[in-house]
Homo-oligomer: A and B are copies of this chain.
Amino acid sequence: MSEPDKSEEDIPDDPAGKGIPNGGNAAKSQEDFDLASIYVSDAQYNRNIYFDTSPEAVKLYMRYNHWIPKVFLFFFILVDLSLAIFEKPAVFPVPTLYTALVELLCLLVFSLRLVHYAKVIPRDKFWKDPKNICIIVILVLTVVDLIVYESLEAANCYAVRWSRVLRPLLLVNVTEGRQLRRAFRSIRNALPQIFYVFLLFMFSLLIFSLMALKLLGKRGLKTIDGAPYFTNYLEIVFDLYVLVTTANSPDVMMPAYNASFVFAIFFILYILINTYIFMSVFLAVVYNNYKKYLKEEVRQLVRAKRHKMVRAFAVLQEQRAEGGEPVVTQTNWNQIVKLVAFVQLADLLNIEVITLKSRPHPLQSAFDTIIVISALIATIINSVITSSQSYTSRQILDIVFILRVLRLIRVVDSIKRFRAIINTLIRIGPAILTFGQLIIVVYYIFAMVGMELFKGKIQFFEDGSVDPARAYCGNPLLKGTAFAQLNYCKNNFNNVVSSFVLLLELTVVNHSGFAAVTHASARLFFIVFHIMVVIVIINIFVAFVLEAFFVEYSVDKGDLQTSLEKKIEELELAVAQEKLEDNLVNAMETMDSDQGTGQSASNKPALMFKIASKRYRTVDALLQRMFEADLDPEDFAENDDDANGNFANPAFSSV
């Protein structure tokens, strides 16, 4: 896991002194524009990288931030993670040498990216950043593990590819993984509080288990399998822990309840205290802490963003008259707008700039496309599945029909009452992707460990199989157990796909048929998984959904504009919608040429914004909005009195 990212969170100073305003009317060089546009673009994408401001480093940094190397990087991370499908235990077995070569290629790409990064930022900053150290350690360990594993394989010895556990950590530690890193930091910061509640919960669990042992242990009761009921203290602790996840309710209670209904009182008390109260307390603690730390992070984010914008203006500003305020000329402004691209500048302000007709509604505009693409994908999947069976075009038509039914959502969305709910669900969308990454990182680690521990313990036999072992999932230890009877054989750790599906099932309802086939201590794996995923991550997810809904409801009541939206209205830059052209980028260019022919637009602001949909697109924007009411006013203060003190508030000036 990445260490707290001090250097990243610092607001970058100005090592090369470029930020100090020129003070004269000297024409801006291309380097100045590059630097300014990079500040704006950093602010836009919430990058907090302390880059070197020498022209060469700036050029390298611009290349570093280009979308092509980024897509390239993520593609190779994906390839690296996907290797688990082809490595033993494999879904599609491939010789070890091939996967090793592909992995080495991936490692090469990661190394090159890291070298590129090292050239962009000052040497000392690079080595102080735990992210970089972490990546280097992962790369070295992976190479060592590969060599050791291949040698042992060649010598036909038993070997474990333990470095695979480290793979998802790359996703956390690359510079682009900052949202994921933020989520992990918030979790880590919440851990001490969760830990104290967990200790109390364990205390309660142990006391209840002791009571259960003394109350029920000597009554000679039997479980449904004929085993002695509640006679072993550790077994009781585990059974009662599982009762908290509701997985073995009411089974765990039945033998005692069958003996006397009075014992039901014990279980009712237990469920009330441990299942309902303690689980709610976990949610409360996770919610409270996660929100607190996330708020602090978002606060820093907003400050850093403003700082970088001020720096960008500082690079571009000029002194018009003696003693006058420094200004940014329209020419310079237009130049930077061209460099950064206007619509993205709007993103910077977390506002969707739209015209009323061109993008009336996210659902309406995109919906048919989504439907058609989904139908296409579904058709392909369907034909892949049915390729071995009798193929009917009827089935494809069916699926297209269902997907057409999804258009009903549009009708539902047009009803005002449902709109608030759907709006919130849409807003949560991008955040789910961050949680998705989080879940994948944790699942991947548990899947790798689980595969080493449990692979091959449980066999799945295809439908047509007549093997007698099919009745007990290929493991005699499972003969007659509920696990085999319920035909859970495919819930195994035999490859990465079934591991992921099993982990999902464990997230929903935690059970552990694997203790029976290995050792009672295997239960630890399932308890740790439950604590990490259900108690921490799922609770954070629930907290996130709760908070997003509370924001939506408070927006309905008041008029919670972002401060930036207010600012735009103050500056009278917001215009009546009929003035807007269909495409704002075109509109910008029209205005440029207007000014070129000398027809001055000096009485009107040259920039016009239309504040549009309240459906925000980025996670950061949603977070900022969530915590906006709680942010310090100074985070939005117009004059940043930073150490340099050089930057006056930038002012617009028409040519």
Contact = CB atoms under 8 A, between A and B. Distances in A.
A501 B265 CA distance: 9
Contacts of A272: 432
A501 to B, nearest CB: 5
Contact of A260 (B207, B385, B401): B385
Contact of A542 (B218, B271, B280): B280
Interface stretch (A20-28, A130-138, A193-201, A585-593): A193-201
A485 B199 CA distance: 37
B200 A254 contact: no
Interface residues on A, range: 35 or more
A249 B509 contact: yes
Given A258-B463, A395-B218, A281 B545 contact: yes
A374 to B, nearest CB: 11
Contact of A207 (B406, B425, B541): B406
A210 interface: yes
Given A218-B395, A262-B385, A549-B285, A421 B251 contact: no
Nearest to A264: B501
A422 interface: yes
Interface string A188-217: 000000001101100100010011001100
Nearest to A257: B490
A215 B412 CA distance: 24
A51 interface: no
A406 B501 CA distance: 41
A541 B279 CA distance: 12
Contacts of A509: 246, 249-250
Contact of A214 (B264, B268, B401, B497): B401
A276 interface: yes
A402 interface: yes
Given A412-B203, A546-B283, A421 B197 contact: yes
A251 B486 contact: yes
A579 interface: no
Given A254-B490, A402-B214, A261 B224 contact: no
A159 interface: no
Nearest to A417: B196
Nearest to A504: B268
B545 A280 contact: yes
Interface string A530-541: 000000001001
A364 interface: no
A249 to B, nearest CB: 5
A399 interface: yes
A340 interface: no
A200 B412 contact: yes
Given A224-B487, A486-B251, A542 B283 contact: yes
A288 interface: yes
B259 A463 contact: yes
Interface in A240-258: 246, 249-251, 253-254, 257-258
A546 B276 CA distance: 11
A505 interface: yes
Interface string A600-644: 000000000000000000000000000000000000000000000
A405 B210 contact: yes
Given A385-B262, A421-B196, A398 B486 contact: no
Contact of A276 (B207, B288, B541): B541
Contacts of A264: 501, 504
A262 B490 contact: no
Contacts of A259: 463
Contacts of A196: 417-418, 421
A249 B508 contact: yes
A284 interface: yes
Contact of A399 (B215, B249, B284): B215
A175 interface: no
Interface string A490-506: 11000001100100110
A621 B386 CA distance: 65
A127 interface: no
A275 interface: yes
A550 interface: yes
A408 interface: yes
Interface string A71-104: 0000000000000000000000000000000000
A367 interface: no
Contacts of A541: 276, 280
A301 interface: no
A321 to B, nearest CB: 50
A336 interface: no
A274 to B, nearest CB: 11
Nearest to A250: B505
A553 interface: yes
Contacts of A491: 250
A469 interface: no
Interface in A421-440: 421-422, 424-425, 428, 432
7 contacts: A203-B412, A250-B491, A254-B490, A264-B501, A264-B504, A268-B501, A280-B541
Given A261-B501, A262-B385, A277-B425, 19 more contacts: A197-B421, A199-B418, A200-B412, A203-B408, A210-B405, A214-B398, A214-B399, A218-B395, A246-B246, A249-B508, A250-B505, A257-B501, A261-B497, A271-B504, A280-B542, A280-B546, A283-B546, A284-B546, A284-B550
Interface of A: 196-197, 199-200, 203, 207, 210-211, 214-215, 218-219, 224, 246, 249-251, 253-254, 257-262, 264, 268, 271-272, 275-277, 280-281, 283-285, 287-288, 381, 384-385, 389, 395, 398-399, 401-402, 405-406, 408, 412, 417-418, 421-422, 424-425, 428, 432, 460, 463, 485-488, 490-491, 497-498, 501, 504-505, 508-509, 538, 541-542, 545-546, 549-550, 553
